[in-house]
Structure 1
Amino acid sequence: MYKTRKRAVLISINVLTIICFVASCLMLLPQKTTEGFSWITLLVAFIVFFATVFWGNRFRSFLLAKVRKDTLETGETVILNDFINRLRFCYSLDDFYVVIGDVLEKQGDCSVLLIDRTKNYILYNSPNRTSTSDTVRNKLDQHFTEQWPDGFYFFDRHIGVTTNYRKARGFFMCCDGYHLYVFCRYTRLFDLDVYKRLLEEYKRFVSRSRTITTLSEISATTKEWEQLAETQQSFLPQKIPNIPKLKIATYYRPLVNVSGDYFSILPIDASKTLLMLGDVSGKGLPAALIMGLVMNTVKIIEDKEDLVGVLHAIDKAIKGMHLQDKYTVLFLSIIDTEKMRIRYINASMSDPIILSPSPDGYRIKPLTSNASLIGILDVGDVNVAEKRLFRGDTILMATDGVSEVMDESGVELGDTDIYKKTLMAGAAKEPQQMVDDIVDLIMKYNGDKKLHDDVTMMIAKVGY
């Protein structure tokens, strides 16, 4: 319906625009053949032409927006649109079950069955007689086997595939062995164009959830991975060094046992300290290997004050591993508590900031990116940035697992006022207290759901 009405609007507006333009031009023609066109007549014709095109486009945009609202954003179709929007933020089957209950069952009064055909196992079924009926399940088992091709289909009241959309009593989605059956007596009222979008989002969810589930199962059940996690943990600082005029606190929480996040605290002399925090692309064993490689590379470099040299050494080491599409973002810095300066290279990290005290409270000074991804692109010329530090300045470094935590509506924590207020309030506290406040906020903001990324941060307070 949406595409049909959209096509009708486009054709109608184009025809109407042409008719209006031609009619306007005819009115401007000289009434007698002996009269000629004047420049004024020609100018008016051009003005009429552009005005007709302009207002025609405005009117077309208005009608298209109205058609979209009438077909996809109102009526019964809004239920599936809500389902699609919620599905974008599902990372596990538990998340998926909540969305099914909230949208398809409560809002839509639908019955739902989710079956893993590869294992012939029912993952979810609504508590009503349709989805719990043995007769219905037997028909589904007979008609829709594991070999059924991926896509979306409609079924009739006999639980058989139908091409007559108006006789459909439900629809089902097939993706990689996962069959989602939705029994809905008013299926004919949903706009047809919504199903393709639903299928694409369903495919992305299946891929997402399987990846996370596989990583979790491997890390939880494989002893070798547990040993790898212990080895990886040994690369990280086991104790925060006691550094004059610099207080540091850290937090490290991997999504599974092994992680691509890392950080390092390496005193250079009495006043200079190297601080590093980074995140390797992807998950699992390859990310863990790159993490260990980066940490070891920095540890053995003699001249740690040469930040450009350190960066190039890391880049060379990662590229030497020849792991496809593996790279790291990182923040590499040296804090000098004698000269009260920070020298840094930010290789595409999004979150590093300085919270600096002022008469009006705390000001946020971003430590913006000045280098590209490391290990996959040509690093090129890199300039070390430098900023002045003041007594009481708080430096926050964090991976995107902190700012990208989402609430139920899909809003990221880093985009909220409560996150900014927590940082402002925490900057006046001890670093460990500030870390605790941010961690508490992450857990509350995320609700009872599982985290979907590693969470790592480092906070350094200067001058105390």
Structure 2
Amino acid sequence: MLKTKQISVKIGLFIGACVSFAVVAFFLTWNSGILFSFVAASLIVCIFFIARNAADIFFSERIERKGLYDGETGLLSRFIERLRFSYTLDDFIQAVRDVCEDRGGISVLYVDKDENRILYNSPSHIASAGETIEKLALNFGADWEEGCYFFDGELGLVSDPAASRGFFIAADRRHAYFFCRYTRLFDPIIFPKLVDEFKRFQLCEKTIAKMSEISSLSKEWALLADTQKTFLPQTMPKIKRLDIASFYRPLVNVSGDYYTVLPVTNEKTLVMLGDVSGKGLSAALIMGLVMNTVKTIKNKENLSLLVSSVDKAIKSMSLEDKYTVLFVAIIDTRQMTLEYVNASMADPVLISRSPDGGRLRALKSNASLVGIIDMEEIKPNVQKLYTGDMLFIASDGVSEAMNETGVELGNTEQYERLLKKSFVKSARAFITDVSDLVFAFSGEGRIRDDITMLAIKVGEAV
């Protein structure tokens, strides 16, 4: 359906481009010399190639959006949107009730195959009948591979969606059955999207459930801290042309600071560092939520989408006065650019060579606090990179480290001099110099906040 329309558009655009090219080329090269004709034809080919590709992308996106949100398929698209911001079983159940049951007349049965336990069933007869549950358990065991499958009116497996009366998603030994008489009307392209979003939901649900369980059942905060640390990189990835180092020291066992470095392509790398407001369990929960949202989002190059997704995820938790500041960027070592969103982080800086030593380029905030107020349109900024540049991101525990007289480190010339002097070193040596200064300036016993740092040096082979 949707694929057929997109292929038809591609063919139509190709034929149209060919005809247009032939007509334009004929009139431009009529009675012209060979050299002029060759140059003109080459330019025309380039222009038509770019125009055709742009039109192809535009119409394909229009067709896909129309196909996904029109008719019956639109129902599953809206359910996917609700699922995207579901983090607990209660969120999932509410999404099922609001979209599948109320709007679509679809009954749902959600089963944990490992525990042989029903997590949710719609109040309809087919989803709650004992014979239905027994037959599904017999036909579809716990070891089904992850994916989407179709069943008929007898609850047996069918390969043709046109002959089905429902479908189920298998993921992580849990099955979600959707009883729907008009399954045949859904565009097939929607099912892989639903599977991906269902898997993302399960990962988030387990993360939140695990941390909540530990905090409520155990007084050992160290156990919660150990769980929290699993969200952070255990080692820095090896990335060509980037030398990366980090420093992480929570003030107490659990922290609201977080960071990550994720290769996106061979040339593009995502880096992020942030700080959740407050301390304790709620800050740790938000930290885990942010890290999972970033980890599971597919298009990591779209920084606007990434930050807005984090914003919606935090707001969905309904935790009072909880928000995060963060800095997230894409480092492109091929184009030598740094595309970034700074959501109210105070201290990110890009340090470059200059005739008199290091030059500090502040990466100023271009977005508001995340997760608590309505965000305006997010527009990433872009900075040019040069070989030897050092990107330094730190939580406010660094710049706000205070000496015995009440002076903050970030307000001293000593701090600025060290950044300009040490950026020529490796990322690890740079981080060591900064951390040594923090503890020497404030004194080991006077650290008042979590301290987290990331240093990324461009041009150093790892």
Q: TM-score, normalised by structure 2?
A: 0.52
Residue 406 of structure 1, aligned match among 387, 391, 402: 402
- The aligned counterpart of 2:370 is 374
Amino acid of the structure 1 residue aligned with 2:299: D
What is aligned with 1:349?
Answer: 345
In structure 2, runs of 5+ residues without a counterpart are 1-214
Map of 2:242 onto structure 1: 246
Query: What letter is aligned with 2:398?
Result: V
Counterpart amino acid of residue 395 in structure 2: T
CA contact (8 A) 2:342 2:366 kept: yes
CA displacement at 1:238 relative to structure 2: 0.7
Q: Residue 449 of structure 1: CA displacement?
A: 2.3
- Partner SS, residue 449 of structure 1: helix
1:298 aligned to which of 294, 299, 304: 294
Tell me the percent identity: 54
**CA offsets 1:299-352 (integer angstroms, 9 cap, x no match):** 000000000000111000000000000000000100000000000000000000
Deviation track 1:52-85 (CA, whole Å, cap 9, x = no partner) reads: xxxxxxxxxxxxxxxxxxxxxxxxxxxxxxxxxx
The answer as to 2:354 corresponding to 1:358 is yes
Partner of 2:162: none
* Ranges of 4+ aligned residues in structure 1 off by more than 3 Å: none
Pair 1:331 & 2:331 matched: no
Matched, 1:446 2:417: no
> Matched residues in 1 for 2:416 and 2:235: separation?
29
Choose which of 284, 287, 302 in structure 2 pairs with 1:288: 284
- Of 275-284 and 419-428, deviating more is 419-428
Opposite residue 445 of structure 2, the aligned amino acid is: K
**1:272 corresponds to which residue?**
268
Aligned length: 245
Deviation, structure 1 residue 448:
4.4
Give the letter for the 2:362 counterpart: P
Q: How does 1:27-38 map to 2 (within 5 A)?
A: none
Offset at residue 450 of structure 1 (A): 3.3
Aligned to 1:387: 383
- Is the CA contact 2:271–2:329 (under 8 Å) kept in the aligned structure 1? yes
Cα deviations by residue, 1:127-155 (Å, 9 ceiling, x for unpaired): xxxxxxxxxxxxxxxxxxxxxxxxxxxxx
**How much does 1:223 deviate?**
4.4
Q: Counterpart in 1 of 2:303?
A: 307
Aligned counterparts of 1:275 and 1:381: Cα–Cα separation in 2: 21
Rg larger in structure: 1
Check the 8 A contact 2:357/2:421 in 1, yes or no: no
Partner residue in 2 for 1:82: none
Name the Cα RMSD after superposition. 1.4
Q: Secondary structure at 1:395's aligned position in 2? A: strand
Structure-2 separation of matches of 1:401 and 1:250: 14
Q: Where does 1:142-161 land on structure 2 (aligned, <5 Å)?
A: none
Give, in whole Å, the separation in 2 of the partners of 1:382 and 1:312: 8
Name the amino acid aligned to 1:430: S
SS at 1:397 equivalent: strand
Gaps of 5+ in 1: 1-218
